[in-house]
Amino acid sequence: MTNNGTGGQDRNINADIGRRIAAKMADAGMTQGQLAEGMGLTQAAVSRKLSGERPWFPGELMDAARILDMTVGELFGESVAAPLFGTEAVLSGAAA
């Protein structure tokens, strides 16, 4: 972590995202080269992004999420939870 000059710690969000992507890749048995190919990047570029050395751009996050069957929110650490109300209830007006 680096000091952001305000006394707090500025965490590396790119590395956090990279760790989540790498974990999902490991679960799926996917290599950096395979992810890179799906994203239109080189393996070296993916490696630098996974380590937090290079930033993730919005389109790349969308591509990685699609390839790994994740949401972009999951890449940022959000958990996937069931909605508070079922879609059917919301559409029928039962939740109103």
Q: Which of 75, 79, 64 is nearest to 17 (CA)?
A: 75
- Bridge partners, residue 2, by sequence: 10
What pLDDT score does 79 carry? Answer: 86
Confidence at residue 51, expressed as pLDDT on a 0 to 100 scale: 95
Q: Tell me 5's DSSP state.
A: S
What is the model's pLDDT at position 80?
A: 75
Would you state the pLDDT for residue 38?
97
pLDDT reported for residue 88: 55
**Taking the complete model, does pTM exceed 0.85, yes or no?**
no
Residues of the chain with pLDDT below 70 are: 1-11, 81-96
